[in-house]
Structure 1
Amino acid sequence: MSGTLPEPKLKIMLVGLTGDGKTSVMNTLLGRDQKHGRSASSQTTECKRETVKRGDQELVIIDTPGVLNTEKKEEKKVKKDIAEVIAGAALDDGPHVFLLVMQAKVFSEKDKEAVEIIQKIFGDGFEDYTLVLFTYGGKLVPTYKDVEKIEFLKKFIQGDHSVHSFENIECKNVNGEEKEKQVSDLVEKINKMVEKNRERNGPRYTSDMLKKAQEIQKQIEKEIEKSEHNGTNEVIMRKTVEKFVNEVVGEPLVGLVFGIVKFAMEKVAKWVNKSKKR
């Protein structure tokens, strides 16, 4: 890296399929013990935002609902999940990095289509701010050269700094000291990506979609200030989601969201039908 100082605050957004370990990644980044393994009850249903101090940097971590959740077949539920993701990303001037969380395994058509939905939500340029993070890394640790061979992932791979592996659950291969190194190595890779993007496009990701969502959030913040309530980020996110779901955000944003929801609904319906045939 050059002599440029790292960002004092890093906004990190976790995206991916339901059940691939986003919440466990968040707990690892926060330094929490993993109390439970994967379960339907631990699935994230709305954006969760927490912070932790690591050295001279503050990590702002946002966990998001998993995409392509076949338990959510109704349009309103799919729209709410997508609204959660957009609202969380728009907060605080946009993310420095998206962690595309995936299980280290043989990848399926479902993985590919989940990535397509995420790409649809964030649009062009998203890949420059994305680091592929594999979970269950105690069993398998893919290298960036391995990932470059996977057609739907290779656009995210720009060298070793754009892929990483985590083992979130204690196992014989990864103990507490090694788990800490996983986190410090990840933060180092994120800082390299941020510096590269600062020189190229800007340190944080943005898009027309997020800019419009940020305008709505500023309006909400002003409304909250007038009512003399506490305008926390969580309250602003919740109210933004309500506006999206109830279609009171106005054009062209409601049209953009509807297009994403329609795209996601088609993918969800496909996998619901496949599960019924089994």
Structure 2
Amino acid sequence: MSGTLPGKSTEPKLTIMLVGLTGVGKTSVMNTLLGIEDQKHGPSPNSQTTECKMAKVQHGDQELVIIDTTGVLNNKKSEEEVKKDIVESIAHAALDGGPHVFLLVMRSDSCSDEDKKAVEIIQEIFGDGSKDYTLVLFTRGGEYVPTHEEVEEIKFLKKFLDKDHPRRSFHSFENNDCKNVKGEEKEKQVSDLVEKINYMVAKNRKRNRSRYTSKMLEKAQEIQKEMEMSEPNDTKADIVCKTVEKFVTGVVGEPWVGLVFGIVKSAMKKVDKYA
């Protein structure tokens, strides 16, 4: 397949939200994007972002708005507090249209059950639709850069890969000085990342949804609430159908609910069967 962009992004501003496990280097990624020399010698489990931070920087013709969120599985905050912080940061970004991309930050030299749990929590917050806005960013790229074949083998990351251009779905950063990545190479890694984000934005624009909006978040939160209130044996299709039934009742009225809901339920059961 050709690597041609599906129409170059013309966004004057890109809103980038950093999400991921605590201690993987999100703050260092933010500093790299801002052109700030990181004083630390790599991320550590003790480096914890406990509140959301936002900063802006000009990159060529585009302004980058970077939001660093609270680290998932943060031992200084409960899971519910972390979820609340991230949802609030999304709500704030939504005032300006919403994020163009979620950068899922992970270390390139490790892939643990905690990483998987972090991804599950993030998907609970943002919903399945967020995969179209997610780009995986590996840190410690000066030590090791995963291939797309290796990324595809990680089941909980495979969903984020573009089927036509998987290499455009992930990127690697070296945030600290090392013998393998210096000077112009460090600047190039930022330019290459921005190019991949623009590719994602252009592709989503073709679907008339270039940004992750507050409505998408509200829908994801509603489905999550339905899941929390669901019966233990309910499938995902059952949960979605219950949510859709409520919506259909409010839109088309009782006489049409049976017909419309029947069609939706049949389709969802098929999706659930082959998922």
TM-score, normalised by the number of residues in structure 1: 0.71
Partner of 1:45: 50
Task: Label 1:6 to 1:108 Cα distance change in 2 as closer, same or farther (>3 A).
Answer: same
Which residue of the other structure, out of 54, 73, 76, is the alignment partner of 1:71? 76
Equivalent-residue separation in structure 2 for 1:130 and 1:83 (angstroms): 16
Letter in 2 for 1:189: K
Paired residue secondary structure (1:145)? helix
> Percent sequence identity over matched residues?
67
Letter in 1 for 2:75: T
Partner of 1:222: none
Equivalent-residue separation in structure 2 for 1:4 and 1:120 (angstroms): 31
Worse-superposed segment, 36-45 or 191-200 = 36-45
Letter in 2 for 1:35: Q
Equivalent-residue separation in structure 2 for 1:212 and 1:127 (angstroms): 15
Q: May I ask how many residue pairs the two structures share in their alignment?
A: 220
Q: How does 1:199-278 map to 2 (within 5 A)?
A: 199-206=206-213, 208=215, 210=217, 256=225
* Contact map agreement 1:34 1:168 (CA 8 A) in 2: yes
Partner of 1:241: none
Partner of 1:97: 101
TM-score, normalised by the number of residues in structure 2: 0.72
Letter in 2 for 1:50: A
Letter in 2 for 1:115: V
Deviations 1:149-197 (A, max 9, x none): 1111100011111010000000010102110010000000110111011
Paired residue secondary structure (1:101)? strand
Which residue of the other structure, out of 203, 211, 214, is the alignment partner of 1:196? 203
Worse-superposed segment, 189-198 or 1-10 = 1-10
Runs (4+) of structure 1 exceeding 4 A deviation are 2-5, 39-42, 255-260
* Contact map agreement 1:9 1:60 (CA 8 A) in 2: yes
Paired residue secondary structure (1:62)? strand
**Gap regions ≥5 residues in structure 2:** 230-275
1:205 Cα shift? 1.3
Equivalent-residue separation in structure 1 for 2:133 and 2:213 (angstroms): 10
Deviations 1:190-246 (A, max 9, x none): 101110111124110135363589xxxxxxxxxxxxxxxxxxxxxxxxxxxxxxxxx
Which residue of the other structure, out of 144, 169, 180, is the alignment partner of 1:173? 180
Higher relative contact order (CA 8 A, sep 6+): 1
Task: Label 1:3 to 1:201 Cα distance change in 2 as closer, same or farther (>3 A).
Answer: closer
Paired residue secondary structure (2:206)? helix
